[in-house]
Amino acid sequence: MTLGDEIRGHLPYLRRYARALTGSQQHGDNFVHTTLEVIVAAPDEFHDGNDTRIDLYRNFHRIWESAYIDDGEGSDDGEHPLVRAANQRLAQITPLGRQILLLTALEGFSVEEAGLITGTDSATVETLLADAVGDLDRESRTSVLIIEDEPLIAMELEQIVRDLGHRVAGIATTHEDAVAAFEATDAGLVLADIQLADGSSGIDAVQDILAIAPVPAIFITAFPERLLTGGRVEPTFLISKPFRENTVRAAISQSLLFTPQLAA
């Protein structure tokens, strides 16, 4: 098996992680592309005695770590307001702490594996993880619109949203109902299933919602690899079914970091 064959199946999930970390499909995919270029240039340096998935994320971490320099100077006046607002929020949370939170909650790595990826001992990983969770728990709250046609899943998401201290703006089961519900509420975040009851698309519903107001959106699907190819406009925040409460929590908290109203 070639190195390309080894890592190919892990790339969609690395894209998910990179997009969640950067808050942008384009920026996240660019980091993944750079990581692959480095691996191709020096394939003998890829493996470090771990399994392929850990080594892939470890190589990505090196690229992210070398690129993330925030000295507070030289900001770009032409920078997109969403990115500028996000950077103001991200300054309150250490980049390494955010990585560890996403690695464990979103990507399912253990504390030990997150340590191998980031080159950090387990005790430090646990401390950084606790600090990151504490910082996220102090975020401002918002109102969440849930677009989900399966009643039990909708109820579970509603409970998670309420447990996190957010309000539920409403629950919609179709494209048309979702847009109408958004227009009638003050929702600041959308949680959307991909396939809805009437055969319509949650992605299409969110696109119509974003035409009304630029709110963050998190998509839920049983087949995330189908939406993480990097070949078209795709979701930035994506979680898999069946999901865990911690996964939804991390995705919500991370997406809200890129919301201007929370960065003021």
Q: Tell me the whole-structure pTM to 2 decimals.
A: 0.81
**Count of residues making up the chain:** 264
- pLDDT at residue 66, as a whole number: 82
Identify the DSSP state of 102.
Answer: I
Q: Which residues contact 102 (CB under 8 A, 6 or more apart)?
A: 17, 20, 21, 250, 254
pLDDT tens, per residue, the chain with 264 residues: 799 999 999 999 999 999 998 888 888 899 999 999 999 999 999 998 889 999 999 999 999 888 764 444 444 555 555 555 555 555 544 578 889 999 999 999 999 999 999 999 999 999 999 988 887 777 768 899 999 989 999 999 999 999 888 999 999 999 999 999 999 998 999 999 988 877 888 888 998 999 999 898 999 888 777 677 666 557 788 898 888 888 998 898 888 877 643 322
Q: Which residues contact 159 (CB under 8 A, 6 or more apart)?
A: none
What's the pLDDT tens digit per position in 48-82?
888 999 999 999 999 988 876 444 444 455 555 55
What's the pLDDT tens digit per position in 138-175?
776 889 999 998 999 999 999 999 988 899 999 999 99
% of the chain residues with pLDDT over 70: 84
